[in-house]
Homo-oligomer: A and B are copies of this chain.
Amino acid sequence: MYEYSREVYYYETDQMAVVHHSNYVRWLEEARTRYFAEVGLPYEVTESLGVLSPITGLEIEFKAFGRFGDKFTVKLCMPKYTGVRFDIEFIIVNQNGDTLAKGRSHHAFVDAKTYRPVSLAKAQPHLHKGMLECIDGDGVQL
């Protein structure tokens, strides 16, 4: 399980005086970006090899409001990787341990020119090996 943490920015709030929910989607990307960088699979490298990894789906439950002044933590893991597609399971908590949101996102590797799915196993065996090593079925809530 990987953890990514930072403080809420003022501009992420809305007039309900809570974090606008669209920012949770951005936090998840921030966390994934750091996660893949830290396991040696940074986006820059992947993109420079002509492979993009767009999100293909998202299920998220919003459980509590985030607020300015909060420090949130995204906990994530990758329970599934098929060589072409992968899933990220996540939970977002605040500094008190309250769950702000949780869910799962779905991603695919696609060719940077054609936007068609690519098998990382064939196209980039080294990245594929790195992805395999990251599979973690233990979940995020342990």
Contacts and interface: CB of A to CB of B under 8 A. Distances in A.
A12 to B, nearest CB: 8
Indicate the size class of the contact surface on chain A. 35 or more
Contact of A61 (B16, B56, B69): B56
Contacts of A54: 16, 18, 21, 62, 65
Interface string A10-25: 1101111110111101
B29 A22 contact: yes
Interface string A37-62: 00000111000000010111111111
For chain A, what secondary structure do more than half of its interface residues adopt (helix, strand, loop), or is it mixed? mixed
A115 B65 contact: yes
B60 A33 contact: no
Given A10-B43, A13-B14, A13-B15, A60 B57 contact: yes
20 contacts: A6-B6, A9-B30, A10-B15, A10-B29, A10-B30, A11-B20, A15-B15, A15-B18, A16-B54, A21-B25, A21-B54, A21-B58, A22-B23, A22-B26, A42-B69, A43-B68, A44-B68, A54-B65, A56-B61, A58-B60
